[in-house]
């Protein structure tokens, strides 16, 4: 840029190139973190059907989508919210067999009370019997589960599975794709407006520069 400071046209082109690289990198990384990383995880991972909440979760370590067997419900009386700025909610997924260990947990953020009141995703619907696997990257859900174990005197194995409790995992997967594409489109549109206004401003500046030069 310094090289072309006496040549305004090339200087502004250089600035636009740097801004374009920055904006495109931001939009691409943000859309990946917000949506596309979740979509590709679900798309590439395995799906399991007719899963019993009492069966060992460790055997489903490669799962992305899980459909539970008939009779699967959430134990709303043992739901708990762990607050650390946001409230991290957990609720045991159970069936009539009454396993001594909670293998599967429904989770969500800011959708429950300190005790009970679990309303995350489709927990309210009697049709919900599936899960979209969630990774606990921050350890907040693990802290919530430890609190639930202590509060309700329940046990959970070391390798449990966290899921968003939903009606249709395929819809959740496609929604991630739609959000990612919408974010890219919005980022492209905003960038076009920014560069359009920038080009207009540069045109006015160059006109003034040319007028002063040839005066």
For 106-126, give the DSSP string: EEEES-S-SBS----TTTT-T
Mean predicted confidence (pLDDT) in 41-60: 92
Q: Is the dihedral of CA 106, 111, 115, 116 positive or negative?
A: negative
Q: Bigger pLDDT: 172 or 3?
A: 172
pLDDT reading at 191 higher than 60: yes
Task: For residue 52, give Cα distances in angstroms to 60, 89, 97, 103, 128.
Answer: 11, 22, 9, 10, 14
pLDDT tier for residue 6 given thresholds of 50, 70 and 90? low
pLDDT reading at 4 higher than 70: no
Interhelix angle 169-214/37-44, nearest 10 degrees: 150
Dihedral angle computed from the Cα positions of residues 146, 153, 113 and 60, in that order, rounded to the nearest 10 degrees: 60
Out of 14-23, 37-46, 98-107, 138-147, which region has the weakest mean confidence (pLDDT)? 14-23
In this structure, which long-range contacts are made by residues 45-48, counting pairs with CB atoms below 8 Å and at least 24 apart in sequence? 45/133, 47/169
The answer, as to whether pTM is greater than 0.85, is no
């Amino acid at each position: 840029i310094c090289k072309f400071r006496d040549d305004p046209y090339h200087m502004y082109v250089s600035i636009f190139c740097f801004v374009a690289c920055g904006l495109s990198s931001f939009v691409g990384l943000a859309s990946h973190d917000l949506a596309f990383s979740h979509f590709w995880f679900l798309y590439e991972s395995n799906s399991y059907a007719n899963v019993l909440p009492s069966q060992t979760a460790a055997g489903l370590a490669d799962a992305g989508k899980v459909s539970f067997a008939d009779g699967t419900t959430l134990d709303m009386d043992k739901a708990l919210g762990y607050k650390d700025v946001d409230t991290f909610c957990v609720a045991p997924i159970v069936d009539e067999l009454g396993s001594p260990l909670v293998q599967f947990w429904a989770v969500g953020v800011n959708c429950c009370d300190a005790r009970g009141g679990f309303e995350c995703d489709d927990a309210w619907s009697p049709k919900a019997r599936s899960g979209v696997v969630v990774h606990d990257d921050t350890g907040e859900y693990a802290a919530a589960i430890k609190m639930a174990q202590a509060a309700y005197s329940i046990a959970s194995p070391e390798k449990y599975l966290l899921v968003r409790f939903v009606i249709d995992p395929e819809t959740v997967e496609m929604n991630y794709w739609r959000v990612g594409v919408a974010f890219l489109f919005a980022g492209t549109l905003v960038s076009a407006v920014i560069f359009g206004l920038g080009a207009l401003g540069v045109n006015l500046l160059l006109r003034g520069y040319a007028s002063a030069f040839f005066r």
